[in-house]
Amino acid sequence: MIPTEGVTRLVISCPDRPGIVAAVSRFLFEEGANVITLDQFSSDPFDGGTFFLRMEFTLPAGAPEGLPERFGLQIAEHWGMTWRMWSAERPKRIAVLTSRADHCLQELLWRWRRRELSGEIVLVASNHPDHRETVEGYGLPFRHVPVTKEGGKPESEGRLLELLRGKCDVVVLARYMQIVSGEFLERLAVPVINIHHSFLPAFVGAEPYRQAKERGVKLIGATAHYVTAELDAGPIIEQDVIRVGHDHDIPTLTRLGSDIERTVLARAVRWHCEDRVLRLGNQTVVF
């Protein structure tokens, strides 16, 4: 549990070449930074892979302003880096979309209040009015954005975009049972994390616990992933499983699975908010 006071995070990906770590760490040393953690990974260290780096560092009192600008100019441009620098004191703003099932929502709210999410929930919206009281009981705003017969999904997505655009850094689908459109994702322009109640890529789509029962699997799982335009096919952040048996019917699978769903989603949200998750094509690097 790293204190966040005065901690800055730097996340980098770029073409792998010798000298990146030396250049970055020398730059930070000369700025007076004290490196707390450093994680590094090369997708193919022997043949033109991609280099990933995550650092946490502190700066001395009275350090000059403009560190990101200097980093961009002196380091990032030279090495062709995709990068961001983020003050750990400024928590990510999280918006949650949900539907009727409340276990993932409850888990996020509860961990948020315990300060275990490493981010701030700023809004909960749902296509059902059910959880207004719960959410407002936590002192958080709740918006009911139904999918109406007339307006359909375009209207609903339009209203959500008004609520969300520019007001959050990540959107979490906490068992939000609507498929979001590619256009919505594009216009939203922040990462969207979904929890799917199966061990993807097994049991894509509807009723994964029913599918699991029918296939007779001995473990059921849950998958947190970034949402892309293709259903249940985005980069996986985290997965976990639980053992089941022939004597578990579909309601029991649903109950046991919901425990896995909430822990997997909570881990994924936390790791995302701590800038631990980097994308590598349709995969993720999780530091």
Q: Which is nearer to a copy of itself, 145 or 200 (CB)?
A: 200
SS3 219: strand
Using rule CB under 8 A, residue 34 touches a copy of itself: yes
CB of 121 to a copy of itself, least distance (A): 17
Residue in 14, 88, 195, 200 binding a copy of itself, rule: CB under 8 A: 200
Q: The tokens 């901690």 sit on which residue?
A: 7
DSSP of 15-64, one letter per residue? E--TTHHHHHHHHHHHTT-EEEEEEEEESSTTTT-EEEEEEEEE--TTPP
Q: How far is the CB of 52 from a copy of itself (least distance, A)?
A: 8
Active site residue 259: no
H or E, element range at 13: strand 7-15
238 scored as a contact of a copy of itself (CB under 8 A): yes
CB neighbour list of residue 214: distance below 8 Å, 6 or more residues apart: none
Beta bridge partners of 86: 9
Query: Is position 36 an interface residue for a copy of itself (rule: CB under 8 A)?
Result: yes
From 73, 179, 189, 219, residue interacting with a copy of itself (rule: CB under 8 A): 219
Judged by CB under 8 A, the residue of 85, 122, 163, 280 near a copy of itself is 280
CB nearer to a copy of itself: pick between 99 and 239: 239
Q: Which stretch binds a copy of itself (CB under 8 A): 34-42, 72-80, 143-151, 170-178?
A: 34-42
| Interacting residue with a copy of itself among 4, 32, 141, 187 (CB under 8 A) | 32
Q: Angle at the Cα of 142 (from 138 to 144), degrees rounded to 5?
A: 150
Name the token pair of 85: 């620098």
- Selected from 15, 45, 48, 182, the binder of a copy of itself by CB under 8 A is 45
Distances, alpha carbon 177 to alpha carbons 12, 99, 163, 194, 206, in Å: 34, 6, 19, 10, 9
Burial 221-248 (b: 16+ CB within 10 A, else e): bbbbbbbeeeebebbbbbbbbeebeeeb
User: And the tokens for 161?
Assistant: 């975009």
Regarding 67 and contact with a copy of itself (CB under 8 A), the answer is no
Cα distances (Å, whole numbers) of residue 85 to 9, 55, 145, 155, 272: 6, 10, 34, 36, 14
**Which entry of 16, 102, 232, 275 is annotated as an active-site residue?**
232
- Residue 222 touching a copy of itself (CB under 8 A): no
Alpha-carbon distance 194 to 229, whole Å?
A: 12
Question: In terms of CB distance, is 3 or 151 closer to a copy of itself?
Answer: 3
* Tokens read off for 199: 């061990």
- Using CB under 8 A, pick the residue from 68, 116, 120, 141 that binds a copy of itself: 116
19 in contact with a copy of itself (CB under 8 A): yes
Binding residues vs a copy of itself (CB under 8 A)? 1-3, 18-19, 21-23, 25-26, 28-29, 32-42, 45-46, 103, 106, 110, 114, 116, 137, 199-203, 214-219, 221, 235-241, 245-247, 249, 251-252, 255, 259, 263, 280, 282-286
| Residues annotated as part of the active site | 232
